[in-house]
Amino acid sequence: MKKTGFDQTAPTKRHASLEMTESTPSKDSSALKTSNENDEPQPVKRISDDDLYRNSTQYRLWSFSKESLQNKRKLLSADIAARFDSKIQSFIEKEGAQLSSDEIEGLQKEMVPITAHEFLQIVTLYAQKVQLFGTKLKLPTEVTSTAVVFFKKYYLENSVLDVHPKNMIFTCMFLACKAENYFINIESFAAKVKQPKESILMHEFPLLESLKFTLMVHHPFKSLHGFFLDIQSILYGKVDMQYLGTVYEKTKKILVDSILTDVAYLYTPPQITLAALLKEDEQLTLKYLELKLLGFNINKEVLNEAEQKRKEQHDKILQTVRECLREMDVSYMPSRDEAWRIDARIHYYLDPMAFIKRIRKQKEAQTSGEPAQKKVKVEQ
């Protein structure tokens, strides 16, 4: 059983249901009554982080159902397939007189379009490289995370055949620095990453267009801080503060890793944060949700109408959080061999003659190696 700092025997503060639902104003609001002193006060809708997020451009432009997200990637994959076929045919028609039948056959056999899944794999690989460069440059977590988000969004709108992922890494990082108010001029940034500034800036406007000029990114880190404070309040006296600090840091690492998955397209930041907390310490998170959403023991058998309503809300939220956690555990990271094969096909699409040169070089190596091989056989 996973070690936890949660103490089930200590007393807890009683809390009402989650503030994302309706609540009743305080007694002071009775002074606002005008005609009928016996009128019940009207419920007040409190604005939650979820409500704010659902009014953001990120939610409006970059939130999808699983099906719509898959369809978007399938369209990109279909475009890649058509372009592969067209490029090979055009190359053969242009260079066919200089190519042998073996070279043409090898080209047609090896130049297979990358699939939607392979597209996602190679984008995920290079998104991780964005994280690695961010760590190397000691950029704040929010800046690096924004760069990853920009990178992934770009390749949700564009094909890897248009701009190779390696050429978008530093453009995304530089734009993220500006978007997150982490000032660094282009000369200093280019010197740090050892790239000409022109190669960084040339992709900046196409990146902005692909982002639909929306640079605000709602990361789950702010939600984590809010939940961290709320857990301390609700589980006061039942959880060790030092242990809770460890949970916070480990959960933040889970959130950083989750940026490489699809959860940001499918769930809200609070839902993602709760899923990460559930992954780090399930017992702690479940107790927090029980006290926050219910205000009574979850195993209580007989419930009144209000309690039943809160129980249904609790179960619905927990179901969504568990679904988010399952999606968070899905990895699209390719193995080294898979990454090499996918990258090679992208490279040879951009330069088919490089593939022909490789074939010819291999043949030359085999031909020059034949006498030595025969000599060994004779000596044996």
CATH at residue 228: 1.10.472.10
Does 209 share its domain with 261? no
Does 229 share its domain with 286? yes
- Helix, strand or coil, per DSSP, at residue 234: helix
Cβ(294)–Cβ(313) below 8 Å: no
HEC-encoded secondary structure of 32-99: HCCCCCCCCCCCEECCCHHHHHCCCHHHHHHCCCHHHHHHHHHHHHHHHHHHHHHHHHHHHHHHHHHC
CA 239, CA 236: separation in Å to the nearest integer? 7
Instruction: Confirm whether 98 is domain-assigned.
Output: no
Q: Which domain holds residue 225?
A: 219-328
Does 231 share its domain with 315? yes
Q: Higher-confidence residue: 208 or 110?
A: 208
pLDDT at residue 274 tops 50: yes
Q: What pLDDT was estimated at residue 185? A: 95
Does 315 share its domain with 223? yes
pLDDT tens, position by position, 217-264: 999 999 999 999 999 999 988 888 899 999 999 999 999 999 999 999
CA 89, CA 110: separation in Å to the nearest integer? 14
What average pLDDT does range 113-123 have in this prediction? 94
Instruction: Confirm whether 18 is domain-assigned.
Output: no
The predicted model scores a pTM of 0.82
**What does the DSSP 8-state code read for residue 290?**
I
Could you tell me which of 376, 277, 362 has the C-alpha nearest to residue 322?
277
What's the mean per-residue pLDDT of the chain? 85
CA 52, CA 60: separation in Å to the nearest integer? 12
CA 333, CA 317: separation in Å to the nearest integer? 29
Does 344 share its domain with 317? no
pLDDT tens, position by position, 44-103: 566 666 677 777 888 888 999 999 999 999 999 999 999 988 988 899 888 888 888 888
pLDDT at residue 159 tops 60: yes
Instruction: Confirm whether 159 is domain-assigned.
Output: yes
> How buried is residue 271: exposed, middle or buried, by Cβ count under 10 Å (0-12/13-18/19+)?
buried
pLDDT tens, position by position, 192-218: 999 999 999 999 999 999 999 999 999
Does 248 share its domain with 340? no
Does 159 share its domain with 68? yes
Instruction: Confirm whether 53 is domain-assigned.
Output: no
Does 345 share its domain with 200? yes
Instruction: Confirm whether 6 is domain-assigned.
Output: no
Instruction: Confirm whether 50 is domain-assigned.
Output: no
Does 203 share its domain with 126? yes
Percent of the chain with pLDDT over 70: 83
CA 137, CA 263: separation in Å to the nearest integer? 26
Crossing angle, helix 169-179 and helix 116-136, to 10 degrees? 60
Query: Helices (DSSP H) in the chain: which residue ranges?
Result: 49-53, 57-62, 66-95, 101-110, 116-136, 141-157, 169-179, 186-193, 197-201, 204-210, 221-234, 241-258, 263-266, 269-280, 282-289, 305-328, 336-350, 352-379
Does 169 share its domain with 282? no
Does 74 share its domain with 203? yes
Does 122 share its domain with 174? yes
Q: How many domains does the chain have?
A: 2
Instruction: Confirm whether 142 is domain-assigned.
Output: yes
Instruction: Confirm whether 106 is domain-assigned.
Output: no
What average pLDDT does range 321-335 have in this prediction? 96
